Structure 1
Amino acid sequence: MLLFFAIQLMTLSCFNSEAKLNVTIENIRHSTGQIRVGLYAACENFPMGCKPIASQVIDASGNNVHLAFDVKPGDYAVALFHDVNGNGKLDKNLFGIPKEPYGFSNNYRPRVSGPVFADCRVRLGASEKTISIKLI
């Protein structure tokens, strides 16, 4: 009987386990403002057309900063920007091109238009994973 409960407990913990996604943000050129980071599950019109499942705001300090998300294993994408002036939004010019540094997982660099989820997808298994994003 005790063995039965132990097996059930182990089975439940496997389904409820979370993995850690560590994110290193590189190439921080300004020491003012905050880095605003969004973690997204698969969605249409990524990143502007969907809400992040988790987000963090971290002060810009040094050339690199580190943060982590605890989430269930699956496919995710990260989008971030350095809010240099602290106004809470990504400032853009008249043509819609960002005036503040930004970045995406897989270090995707937009050419003509923004990314789609598949461009930035990171597959997170049951263990810890570390990614680096270089600000553009």
Structure 2
Amino acid sequence: MKARIRLWLAAAVAATLAGGAAHAAEACHGHPGGDAVKLTVEATNVRAAKGEVAITVYPDDVRRFLARGGKLGRVRTPAALPVTRACFWLPPGHYAVAVYHDQDGDRDFDRDGLGRPTEGFGFSNDAPARMGLPAFADVRFRLPAGGKTISLRMRYR
């Protein structure tokens, strides 16, 4: 009987660990309270559960979008299938989000010799990036007083 219970417990632990990546806890930036509301970002179409997904929030300022030092916050969370999530506590307003899948964990957005991305990426509003970066107006979204969840599809070239 004891052996059967141990076996059942071991199986339950193994199942929990195996499913953990798909249901990884949200990594949050900032703190609740005051006028902060929760922005949850869901990156879908993540290709592999290796490396980490870097989710970055930018203020409502075209000059700061994707600029060095321009971010409001960034969460780096282990890549999880089928969706990787992170959250931010921010005041209601307008923002933009950029995401990339740092598969090799070097904390750099890798490109090939021609400057094309070699790692997955995405933007709020699923703004397209066909021949360069999307326009700020295409990635800008409103975070209402009740909070919001946005989903964006990771793109791999």
Q: TM-score, normalised by structure 1?
A: 0.83
Which sections of structure 1, spanning at least 5 residues, go unmatched? Answer: 1-15
| Superposition RMSD in Å | 1.4
User: What is the aligned length?
Assistant: 121
SS at match of 2:82: coil
Q: How does 1:38-77 map to 2 (within 5 A)?
A: 38-43=56-61, 44=63, 46-48=65-67, 51-77=70-96
> Cα distance, 1:48 vs. partner?
3.6
Aligned residue among 69, 93, 105 for 2:124: 105
* Distance in 2 (alpha carbons) for counterparts of 1:50 and 1:96: 22
Match of 2:101 in 1: 82
Percentage identity across paired residues of the two chains = 33
Q: How does 1:18-37 map to 2 (within 5 A)?
A: 18-37=36-55
CA contact (8 A) 2:55 2:86 kept: no
> Cα distance, 1:111 vs. partner?
1.8
Match of 1:3 in 2: none
* Distance in 2 (alpha carbons) for counterparts of 1:48 and 1:101: 19
Match of 2:140 in 1: 121
Q: TM-score, normalised by structure 2?
A: 0.72
Structure possessing the higher relative contact order (Cα contacts under 8 Å, 6 or more residues apart): 1
